[in-house]
């Protein structure tokens, strides 16, 4: 299916005999998968499903319902025993060795709690959707602690990412807060707006959502593989112990804190940039251009500017790199390597699965 090839079949157009089975199939597949994964939300999911069918003039006897049920059963079988959410797994607490991740102390209100063990180390071994293995695009090692590049990254985040006495501007602080939102939700909100504005039929829309979210999922798995392979310390730990890292260019500050609490998993690479790299690269491949005007919205409470409009996908990806430094959460190398890793995942996904049907 070529994007924009059937303008008469706009998603918001009246239901026709041609489009109704596709609508019913899409809604049913989504409902059945979500119901299987989140049975405690059955009442809400069933209600939304029924409301959707009713609002689009569909019956539960529509032929598309059976197709959707079959699609859901297929994907659930495909993902059975993939390693997600194991019943038990040992807590990961890293090490107090120099350069190694350890639980961080949070002096500010809000999650994560003080000294939490590493989050979801099992994610590093989950079976990917499209990649051959979680380590297929493992990033290069973090910079050596004694290197000039490490010192440059260190001093940058120390100056720009500090909670107190930072050299950030007000605009940089607001950008940081904007991208402190949940990245998966932020990018899917943007994706919904993009598809509504630019895609003319349900099939192309579903394909794009699938490509982006498979890329996000596999990028996240790949990111966790790298994080727990290198187990590199976070800026908050590095800066508080900077006098012990063997690098004369780094001056330690035992009282340093980041702008927001540091999440409880290793630094290298950045999950947020992994997601943004995968999403923006997939959109570039799907539409064949980096020149795409779109608006991203944030729900993060401290963000003053809740919407940001871009004309280039790469500009948004660059903003996420800088935002994670302004937040004090990552070294620049972790951000840039993560963006590249996400891009690699997206290219693989686009080339190997959900190829377009040409008529």
- What's the per-residue H, E or C state across the chain? CCCCCCHHHCCCCCCCCCCHHHHHHHHHHHHHHHHHHCHHHHHHHHHHHHHHHHHCCCCCCCHHHHHHHHHHHHHHHHCCCCCCCCCCCCCCCCCCCCCECCCCCCCCCCCCCCCCCCCCHHHHHCCCCCCCCCCCCCCCCCCCCCCHHHHHHHHHHHHHCECCCCCCCHHHHHHHHHCCCCHHHHHHHHHHHHHHHHCCCHHHHHHHHHHHHHHHHHHHHHHHHHHHHHCECCHHHHHHCHHHCCCCCCCCCCCCCECCCCCCCCCCCCHHHHHHHHHHHHHHHHHCCCEEEEEEECCCCCCCCCEEEEEEHHHHHHHHHHHHHHCCCCCHHHHHHHHHHHHHHHHHHHHHCCCCCCC
pLDDT at 281 over 50: yes
pLDDT at 12 over 60: no
pLDDT category, 6, cuts 50, 70, 90?
Answer: very low
pLDDT digits (tens, 9 = 90+) for 122-154: 999 999 999 999 999 999 999 999 999 999 999
Residues of the chain with CATH 1.10.606.20: 94-352
Please give the pLDDT value at position 107.
73
Q: What is the mean pLDDT of residues 44-71?
A: 95
The proportion of the chain whose per-residue pLDDT surpasses 90, expressed as a percent, equals: 87
pLDDT at 302 over 60: yes
pLDDT at 111 over 80: no
pLDDT category, 15, cuts 50, 70, 90?
Answer: very low
Q: What is the mean pLDDT of residues 294-301?
A: 98
This prediction has a pTM of 0.90
| Of the options 1.10.606.20, 1.10.10.10, 2.60.40.420, 3.40.50.720, the CATH number for the domain spanning 94-352 | 1.10.606.20
The proportion of the chain whose per-residue pLDDT surpasses 70, expressed as a percent, equals: 94
pLDDT at 262 over 90: yes
pLDDT category, 358, cuts 50, 70, 90?
Answer: confident
pLDDT category, 4, cuts 50, 70, 90?
Answer: very low
Q: What is the mean pLDDT of residues 170-185?
A: 98
Q: What value does the mean pLDDT of the chain take?
A: 92
pLDDT category, 48, cuts 50, 70, 90?
Answer: very high
pLDDT digits (tens, 9 = 90+) for 196-205: 999 998 889 9
Q: What is the mean pLDDT of residues 45-71?
A: 95
């Amino acid at each position: 299916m070529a994007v924009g090839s059937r303008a008469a079949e706009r998603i918001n157009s009246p239901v026709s005999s041609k489009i109704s089975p596709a609508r019913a199939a899409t809604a049913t597949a989504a409902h059945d998968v979500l119901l299987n994964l989140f049975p405690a939300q059955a009442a809400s999911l069933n209600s939304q499903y029924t409301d959707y069918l009713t609002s689009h003039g569909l019956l539960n006897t529509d032929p598309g319902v059976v197709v959707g049920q079959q699609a859901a059963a297929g994907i659930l079988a495909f993902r059975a025993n993939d390693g997600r959410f194991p019943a038990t797994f040992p807590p990961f607490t890293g090490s107090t060795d120099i350069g190694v991740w350890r639980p961080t102390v949070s002096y500010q209100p809000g999650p994560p709690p003080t000294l939490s063990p590493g989050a979801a180390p099992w994610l590093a071994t989950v079976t990917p959707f499209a990649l051959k293995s979680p380590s297929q695009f493992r990033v290069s090692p973090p910079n050596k602690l004694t290197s000039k590049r490490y010192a440059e990254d260190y001093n940058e985040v120390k100056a720009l990412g500090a909670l107190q006495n930072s050299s950030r501007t007000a605009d940089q602080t607001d950008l940081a807060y904007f991208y402190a939102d949940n990245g998966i939700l932020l990018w899917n909100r943007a994706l919904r707006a993009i598809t509504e504005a630019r895609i003319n039929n349900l099939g192309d829309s579903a394909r794009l959502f699938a490509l982006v979210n498979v890329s996000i999922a596999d990028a996240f798995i790949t990111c966790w593989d790298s994080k727990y392979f290198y187990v590199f310390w976070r800026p908050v730990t590095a800066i508080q112990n900077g006098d012990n890292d063997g690098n004369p260019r780094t001056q330690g500050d035992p009282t340093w804190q980041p702008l927001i609490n540091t999440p409880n998993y290793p630094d290298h690479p950045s999950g947020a940039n992994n997601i943004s790299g995968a999403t923006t690269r997939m959109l570039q491949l799907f539409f064949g251009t980096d020149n795409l005007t779109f608006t991203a919205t944030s729900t993060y409470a401290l963000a003053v500017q809740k919407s940001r409009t871009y004309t280039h996908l790469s500009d948004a990806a660059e903003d996420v790199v800088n935002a994670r430094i302004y937040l004090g959460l990552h070294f620049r190398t972790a951000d840039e390597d993560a963006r590249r890793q996400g891009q690699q995942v997206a290219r693989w996904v686009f080339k190997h699965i959900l190829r377009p049907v040409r008529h």
